[in-house]
Structure 1
Amino acid sequence: MSNGAETTALPQPTFPLKAPGTAVVHAGPRQTPRIVSVPTRCAEQVLVLPGGTDVFAALEHSLTEFAVPGIMAEFLSGEFGHIDFVHPAYGPDAEHPMSFTEAFAVDVPAQLRHASATIGVRDGAPFCHIHASWTTSDNTIKGGHLLPGTLAGPKGLTIRLFALPDAQLISEVDPETGFSAFAPTPTDHEANQSKSPGLSEALETPDSVISRVRPGEILDEAVLAVCRTAGFKSAEVVASLGSTTGAVFTDGTAPWPAVEFTHLSGTVTGAKSAAPQVVLSGEVVDVAGEVHSGVIANGANPVAVTFELFVRSVS
C-alpha cells in the first residue's frame, strides 16, 4: 500500500516558499467576474452506497436518478474499500507553484473522516469532483483529491446530496490557472421544475446559491459577498470544496502554496448589516498529504485555484 506518507520521496520546491495565505497570481489571463454565482432551489436526498460500490459511478448516476443538472454532496458516514487519489504538490517553478502528486492507492478499508463532492458534467458527460480524508486501521490519517476507481468499503457509505434543479455545473479547463474547474450556469427554472418531479415540493423560489470563486478572492469575504448579492440575512455553508494558498486557522497554519479542503462549513449572520459575522471551519490536505483542521481565520485565506461554494439561506 502506498498512502503518500513517504514525504521525502515527494518532489521538493525549487523556488522560495511564501507564508501561508499569500495569494498566487497565475500565469494565464485574469478572468472576470471573480465570483460566478447561480441562485437555485435545493432539495436534499440521501444516497446509501453498499460495500463495493464504485463511488464515482454512483454519484454521477445520481444526476439522472434525481433528474437535475447539478448536485453538491457531503459524505456523512461509512468507509472506503479502495482509494485512488492525488494530493497537492509543488509546481515546476515560481510562476507555476502548485501541482498534483502522482497517483497513490489505499488498498485496505479506511474509515471516512470528511468528504465533499461536486457533480456535474465535463465534455457533455457526467463528471464528479471529490475531496476526502480517511483513517486506516493503523490510525494513519490522510486525504486528497479522489480519482475514479475509488470504492465504498464493506460498511458502505452514506452521502447527503443537495440536488440543484436550476444550476448546471460544468467542468472546463480554466485559462487563468490551467486547471479544470467547475462553474455554474443557470438553467430554465420552469423546464427543470417539470423535469424534476421529485423536487415538486421544494421551494418555488431559490433558497440557495452555488458559486465558483476564482483565485485570490478571500474565502470568508467571498461567502459574505455571495450572501449579500443573494439577499440572504443569515446563511449556512455546507458541502463546499476547493483550494486556498495554504491555510490560516485561528490556531495554526498549513503550508503554502496550496491545500485542498475536504469540506468547508459555517454560518453567516447579519449579512446585510454593518457588522456581519462569518464563522467558517474546515479540514484541508497539504503538499505532504497531511490533514489539518480548525476554525478559518477571517481575511487570511485567498483561493488558490478555485472554490466550489454552496450557501443556503437560513430563515
Structure 2
Amino acid sequence: MADRAVRRWSVPDRQLQQPGPAAAERFESFAGTGRRFSFELQPGLSLNEAIATPLATANLRAASLVIEGGAFAPFHYLMPALSTDGLHAAWYSDTFSPAGETLMERGNVTFGERDGAAFIHCHATWIEPDGRRCAGHILPHETIVSQPVRATVWGVETIRMVSEPDAETAFTIFHPVPVSEPAAEDTGPRTIIARVCPNEDITGALEAICRKHGFAGAHLRGGVGSLIGARYADGTRVDDIATEVFITGGFVSADARRTRIEITMVDTKGGITRGDLERGDNPVCITFELCLEEA
C-alpha cells in the first residue's frame, strides 16, 4: 500500500492545474489472473458492439486490446484540443467524419463499462480516404466496422474497469475496481489493470505499480491516455498541453535501466510522433489506463 500513499518517483516540471482536488493516491491498480485471446471485429457492427460482444461471452469486464488492419465506414473521431470552458485542463475537438472508408492501422482499446453497459476507450492511427495518415480518439458507437479488424485481448475476470465521474479532472473516466480475489486454481500470467492520475510521470508511476504488486518485470500490453506533450529518449520534443496517446510497446522493470515505454501520440495540431519516452519527464495530462502482464 505504501506505493500508493507515498510517491517514490520524481514529479516532472510540466504540470496542469486540474479543476478539483488531487486524489491522495496517484494511481489505482489491481492484479488478477490474465487471459489472452484473439478474434476479428465483424463488419456491420459498431466498434463498441464488435468488441463488447465477444468480451462479454468471455466473461471479461476489464481488458486491453490491440486492434490492427481492416476498415471503418462511417468513421467518426475527435482530436485533442485546448480547453476554453474555464474548467477543464484540456478538452477535445469537434467531431471529424471523413467521407468514405477509413483504413485502420493500429490502436489500443480499454474495455470496461459505463452506466452499466459495455463501453470502450480507443486511441489509434488510420489512413483516411484522401490518403492522409491521422490519429486520435475514435467514437465507439458512431463508428461502424466495414472490413474485419484483427484484435488481441488481454483481460482479467476478477476486475471491472468502470467509467465514472472523477472529481479531480471533472471528466468521466475509467478506473479499475476489484470484483473478487483470483481463485487458487486459476492459471495464467498475473496481470495488472491500472489507471494513473494527472501530473504523474508515467514511467515512475508504472514502476511503482509493479513494486506494489511484487512484479520484477512486466510487459506493457496496452495503454490509452494523454500526456502533457512529450519528451522522447532520442531528444524529440512535443510542446503541447492536450494530446491523445496509446502504448505501442514496452517493458517495465525493477531495474530502471531496462524500463522502456514506446508510445504513439497526436497533438492538438494533428502532428503524430512515435518513440520511446524519456524517463522522469512525461506527466499524465488527464488519465492513463494501462495493462501490464508479469514477465
- Using structure 2 for the length normalisation, give the TM-score: 0.88
Pairwise CA distance, 1:50: 3.2
1:227 matched to 2:210: yes
1:256 matched to 2:237: no
Specify the SS of the correspondent of 2:97: strand
Query: What is the aligned-residue identity percentage?
Result: 27
8 Å Cα contact 1:244/1:260 also seen in 2:
yes
Distance 1:254 1:21, change over 3 A: farther
CA distance in 1, matches of 2:269, 2:146: 25
RMSD, aligned α-carbons:
2.2
Pairwise CA distance, 1:95: 6.2
Pairwise CA distance, 1:69: 1.9
Specify the SS of the correspondent of 2:55: helix
Give matches, 1:236-275, under 5 Å. Answer: 236-250=219-233, 251-269=235-253, 271=254, 273=255, 275=256
CA distance in 2, matches of 1:40, 1:134: 33
- Name 2:187's counterpart in structure 1: 202
Of 44, 51, 58, the residue aligned with 1:52 is: 44
Is 21-30 or 278-287 further displaced after alignment? 21-30
Specify the SS of the correspondent of 2:160: strand
8 Å Cα contact 1:52/1:81 also seen in 2:
no
1:100 matched to 2:92: yes
Pairwise CA distance, 1:21: 7.1
- Name 2:145's counterpart in structure 1: 152
Aligned length: 282
CA distance in 1, matches of 2:273, 2:103: 17
CA distance in 1, matches of 2:247, 2:216: 23
- Using structure 1 for the length normalisation, give the TM-score: 0.83
Provide Cα deviations, 1:125-148, integer angstroms capped at 9, x if missing partner.
Answer: 111111111123543111111112
Specify the SS of the correspondent of 2:111: strand
Give matches, 1:1-315, under 5 Å. Answer: 22-92=14-84, 96-147=88-139, 148-154=141-147, 156-189=148-181, 202-203=187-188, 207-250=190-233, 251-269=235-253, 271=254, 273=255, 275-314=256-295
CA distance in 2, matches of 1:276, 1:252: 20
Provide Cα deviations, 1:280-310, integer angstroms capped at 9, x if missing partner.
Answer: 1110111123321111111110000000011
Pairwise CA distance, 1:68: 1.9
Specify the SS of the correspondent of 2:198: coil
In structure 2, the gaps of 5 or more residues are: 1-11
Is 286-295 or 239-248 further displaced after alignment? 286-295
Pairwise CA distance, 1:264: 4.2
CA distance in 1, matches of 2:239, 2:106: 20
CA distance in 1, matches of 2:143, 2:213: 36
